[in-house]
Amino acid sequence: MEIKTTANFDLGPIQALVREYFIPYETSHASSQEFPTYLVEKMHELGIFLSPGSKEYGGKSLAVADLIWLIQELSYGSPSMAATFIGNLLGYSALLLHGEGEFKERVARQYAQEQSLWSFGMTEAGAGSDLLNIQTTARRVKGGFLLDGEKNFITNASHSSHLCVFAQLLSEKGEKEGISAFYIQGNNPGLSRGPALAKIGWQKANTGSLLFKNAFLPEYSILGKAGDGLRILTHCLNRSKTLLAAMGVGIANRALDLCTERLSETKRFGKPLLEQATIRHLLARLHTQKEAAWMLTCKAASTWDAGLDATKESSMAKLFSGAMSVETCRQAMELFGARGYLHDFEVSRLASDAKGIEIIEGPSFVQELLIARMVLPKMNGNKQANPNDQFRLLQKDLKRAS
Ligand SMILES: Cc1cc2nc3c(=O)[nH]c(=O)nc-3n(C[C@H](O)[C@H](O)[C@H](O)COP(=O)(O)OP(=O)(O)OC[C@H]3O[C@@H](n4cnc5c(N)ncnc54)[C@H](O)[C@@H]3O)c2cc1C
């Protein structure tokens, strides 16, 4: 299988957007509660949000191997805007991969025209890693479903016009029919939104809660089949982890560029710090780790694009890239000396941005469980994971670990 190492599209306009708008915004003192609508508009103007979608719906049909280049660039200037894009794509990809017929076409066209945002609602107060514990319900009623419950820590929650939400499907009598995925429009009268959360990283991305009270969803709102929710969730998340890995590389690129600039300007003991041998060795090691993370990310992307299952590669890329970017930013803070400890210097913020990769879309511990299942021989009754069965087996592993 060929591993792509260059982007298939012109990155120039993206790089210009990042340098002209993203870096000044991310380093500004704008409150983390203010959402940069104008940056979302700029991203729409460049077709960034639609780019993964098919040409039929106004998109560019970018492959995963191209999306990782896009994410790497966005993250270089603003991990928050990259997170806005990734959260958006999670919701949008549920429609693209699992929506059907006239409904899919209508929603995809509406999204393309109005240039709005998507949310992907899986996490709840009592259901993060433990997703089988989802308490949000969708009860069958005449002509559709009634959605009730609350989702927490949802990207774009205050601003999304389109949402994909996971809920326990109930029959009219209240019997469980399995976790299922639903599309809900942002203007549904049964939907309200909690306040934006103040975070230590991805500060300028919007994260909040979604509350559903008797929100009526027409029958066509179910994505895939009844009880298909965990398969849809796994399908979307596994791809998205490759994008989070690319974010780690973008953050590390920025931290290393800032370090190189700073160390070449800072003279200690009569010469620039960048000329100190120990520092050059350290930077050489950090660059090598970053390159290794990028190659894992490229391998995961090429595997998806070849139509194969890349769950293992994607989890490995996120695990490695998250740790690599946290370590790179930690070292960058130290190389900045006292300045690395100040809010006004970007490296300290980058360290918090990098940590998000190790937590979101499944903490590193969960990725390790998944990888172990796929690379190690059967042990204690463990079966090696068949891609279709991953989710159920992972939940078993989590239960056993606790
Ligand atoms: C900025 C941000 C954006 C987000 N965006 C979204 C979004 O758009 N949509 C969405 O649905 N969610 C979103 N999330 C939620 C995120 O994906 C979850 O927080 C993440 O999956 C972890 O779930 P949790 O917080 O419930 O952690 P928990 O499941 O409570 O885990 C806490 C810790 O315990 C460990 N752990 C769990 N189980 C075990 C066990 N059995 N044994 C030992 N250790 C264990 C975990 O590894 C972790 O370290 C977002 C979160 C943040 C912070």
CATH number, domain of 198, equals 2.40.110.10
Q: How far is the CA of 178 from the centre of ligand 1 (A)?
A: 21
Q: What number is the average pLDDT over the span 206-213?
A: 98
33 located within any domain: yes
Q: How far is the CA of 358 from the centre of ligand 1 (A)?
A: 10
Domain shared by 158 and 191, yes or no: yes
For residue 361, which atom of ligand 1 is closest to its CA?
17
154 located within any domain: yes
Q: Which of 132, 193, 360 to mutate to test ligand 1, by most ligand atoms within 8 A of the CB atom? A: 360
* Predicted confidence (pLDDT) per residue in 246-265, tens digit: 999 999 999 999 999 999 99
Q: How far is the CA of 55 from the centre of ligand 1 (A)?
A: 34
Q: Are 97 and 304 in contact (CB under 8 A)?
A: no
Residue 388: is its pLDDT beyond 60?
Answer: no
Closest of 16, 12, 36, 15 to residue 26, by C-alpha: 36
6 located within any domain: no
> Range of 166's domain?
118-226
Q: Are 165 and 137 in contact (CB under 8 A)?
A: no
Nearest-CA residue for atom 23 of ligand 1: 128
Q: How far is the CA of 259 from the centre of ligand 1 (A)?
A: 31
Q: Rounded to the nearest 10 degrees, how much is the dihedral formed by the CA atoms of 380, 384, 389, 390?
A: 90
177 located within any domain: yes
The CATH number that applies at residue 18 is 1.10.540.10
Q: How far is the CA of 363 from the centre of ligand 1 (A)?
A: 6
Nearest-CA residue for atom 25 of ligand 1: 128
Domain shared by 22 and 95, yes or no: yes
Q: What number is the average pLDDT over the span 278-302?
A: 98
Domain shared by 209 and 271, yes or no: no
Question: At which of 174, 208, 226 does a domain end?
Answer: 226
Token reading at 153: 């820590």
Q: Rounded to the nearest 10 degrees, how much is the dihedral formed by the CA atoms of 214, 215, 221, 223?
A: -80
* Predicted confidence (pLDDT) per residue in 2-34, tens digit: 777 677 788 999 999 999 999 999 888 777 678
Q: Are 320 and 291 in contact (CB under 8 A)?
A: no
Residue 381: is its pLDDT beyond 70?
Answer: no
3 located within any domain: no
Q: State the Cα–Cα distance between residues 202 and 83, nearest whole angstrom.
A: 7
Question: At which of 169, 192, 226 does a domain end?
Answer: 226
For residue 119, which atom of ligand 1 is closest to its CA?
8
Q: Sign of torsion, CA 187 88 367 301?
A: positive
Q: What number is the average pLDDT over the span 373-379?
A: 85
Task: Give the mean pLDDT of the chain.
Answer: 93
Q: How far is the CA of 186 from the centre of ligand 1 (A)?
A: 24
The three-class DSSP label of residue 207 is strand
4 located within any domain: no
pLDDT at 383: 57
More confident residue, 226 or 60: 226
Q: Are 293 and 249 in contact (CB under 8 A)?
A: yes
Domain shared by 193 and 75, yes or no: no
Question: At which of 72, 92, 114 does a domain end?
Answer: 114
The three-class DSSP label of residue 347 is helix
What domain count does the chain have?
A: 3
Structure pTM?
0.94
The CATH number that applies at residue 264 is 1.20.140.10
Domain shared by 256 and 348, yes or no: yes
Q: Can you name the residues that pair with 210 across neighbouring β-strands?
A: 151, 193
* Predicted confidence (pLDDT) per residue in 313-331, tens digit: 999 999 999 999 999 999 9
Q: Which residues form the pocket of ligand 1, taking CB atoms under 6 Å from any ligand atom?
A: 87, 120-123, 128-130, 153-155, 199, 202, 207, 356, 359-363, 365-366, 398, 401-402
Q: What number is the average pLDDT over the span 389-398?
A: 71
Q: Which of 86, 90, 119, 123 to mutate to test ligand 1, by most ligand atoms within 8 A of the CB atom? A: 123
Q: What number is the average pLDDT over the span 356-370?
A: 96
Most confident of 70-74, 341-345, 380-384: 70-74
Q: Can you name the residues that pair with 223 across neighbouring β-strands?
A: 181
Residue 393: is its pLDDT beyond 90?
Answer: no
Q: How many CB atoms lie within 10 A of CB 101?
A: 8
Nearest-CA residue for atom 29 of ligand 1: 129
Domain shared by 259 and 358, yes or no: yes
* Predicted confidence (pLDDT) per residue in 150-203, tens digit: 999 999 999 999 999 999 999 999 999 999 999 999 999 999 999 999 999 999
Q: How far is the CA of 127 from the centre of ligand 1 (A)?
A: 8
Q: What angle do CA 35, 40, 45 make, to 5 degrees?
A: 160
Above pLDDT 90, what percent of the chain?
82
For residue 122, which atom of ligand 1 is closest to its CA?
11
Domain shared by 57 and 82, yes or no: yes
Q: State the Cα–Cα distance between residues 242 and 114, nearest whole angstrom.
A: 28
Residue 358: is its pLDDT beyond 70?
Answer: yes
Tell me the H-state helices in 336-363. 346-359
Closest of 163, 192, 178, 150 to residue 90, by C-alpha: 163
pLDDT at 344: 84
Domain shared by 175 and 242, yes or no: no
Q: How far is the CA of 132 from the centre of ligand 1 (A)?
A: 13
pLDDT at 384: 56
Domain shared by 99 and 240, yes or no: no
Q: What angle do CA 358, 364, 365 make, to 5 degrees?
A: 145
Q: Nearest 5°: phi and psi at 212?
A: -120, 125
Domain shared by 391 and 301, yes or no: yes
pLDDT at 340: 94
Q: How far is the CA of 360 from the centre of ligand 1 (A)?
A: 6
Q: State the Cα–Cα distance between residues 174 and 13, nearest whole angstrom.
A: 52
5 located within any domain: no
For residue 87, which atom of ligand 1 is closest to its CA?
8
pLDDT at 397: 74
Closest of 248, 237, 185, 258 to residue 216, by C-alpha: 185
Q: Sign of torsion, CA 311 316 319 320?
A: negative
Q: Can you name the residues that pair with 167 across neighbouring β-strands?
A: 180
Closest of 199, 106, 179 to residue 136, by C-alpha: 179
Above pLDDT 70, what percent of the chain?
96
Q: State the Cα–Cα distance between residues 246 and 296, nearest whole angstrom.
A: 10
382 located within any domain: yes
Domain shared by 56 and 37, yes or no: yes
Domain shared by 318 and 338, yes or no: yes
